[in-house]
Amino acid sequence: MKWSMLLCWCCVAALSVPAGATILANGGFEEADCAQGIPTAFGYWTGNDIAEVVGPENGIRPFEGTRMLRFITTGGIGNATTVTSNIDQAVDLTPWSSLIETGRAELIVSGWFNRIHVDDWTDTLFGIEVGAYAGSIEDLASTGLNPPYSRTVWLETDRAPDTWELVGKKFVLPDWTRFVVVEIMAHENMYNDIAGQGEFHGHYADMISLEIVPEPGTLLLLALGGLSVLRAAPGRSRVR
């Protein structure tokens, strides 16, 4: 086998790491409603705060498909202190553990948000946080959502209901990561209404995406790693 062929084979092997497609379930809110509580399993949207999956309303149409998520509350009924509606999905990353353990795995998270504008008190801010965890998802029952490592990005939205705004972030995962929790947020940045009493006038999310990819340069390193293994095979070449 020629070296060029070996290198080509190694590149194909490295590129077989799944990439380029979202690994979130129901990122467009077409398949299921939002549950209550913190995540107890992977692959569904849930939150301590209340959110509903809705169709077109308030002059806003879903960014994709026929449904979108509407943020409702930031806490229990009557709670006056909370200012953020947090809706979460836990994602199992153990299928990518060999890539993550290189310390060169990147996550790309993104989402689309939109809202209506009522008056100057209408909140304008959305966000996405990704928290990384080392243990098992069962640990969340005792620890709650307190990731040892997280990255957050915020989005200021315009007042036009016929435009959706995109926000995203790319970052390197800690090499100990076993799963992540993606949290989408609507934030009361203009006025803190009492929870449960119309905190958000009409605030929506759709088409949330999470991808895992090798950091630029990792493909070559993985390819060269595969190359050295082949070179070390008995009878093929001397190993220095």
Positions in the binding site for Ca ion (CB under 5 A): 28-29, 62, 64-65, 67-68, 114, 158, 160, 163, 206
CA distance 164 to 56: 13
Nearer to Ca ion, 101 or 158 (CB): 158
Structure-block tokens of residue 87: 């809706």
How crowded is residue 211: how many other Cβ atoms within 10 Å of its Cβ?
Answer: 18
CA distance 221 to 224: 5
Nearer to Ca ion, 26 or 48 (CB): 26
CB 179 within 8 A of CB 93: yes
CB 114 within 8 A of CB 204: yes
144: Cα within 13 Å, side-chain hemisphere: 2
Shortest spacing between CB 111 and Ca ion, in angstroms? 11
Nearer to Ca ion, 165 or 215 (CB): 165
Shortest spacing between CB 189 and Ca ion, in angstroms? 15
CA distance 49 to 82: 10
Nearer to Ca ion, 53 or 153 (CB): 53
Strands (E), 50-164: 51-54, 68-71, 84-92, 105-115, 125-133, 149-156
Nearer to Ca ion, 134 or 160 (CB): 160
Shortest spacing between CB 183 and Ca ion, in angstroms? 18
Shortest spacing between CB 141 and Ca ion, in angstroms? 30
Shortest spacing between CB 163 and Ca ion, in angstroms? 4
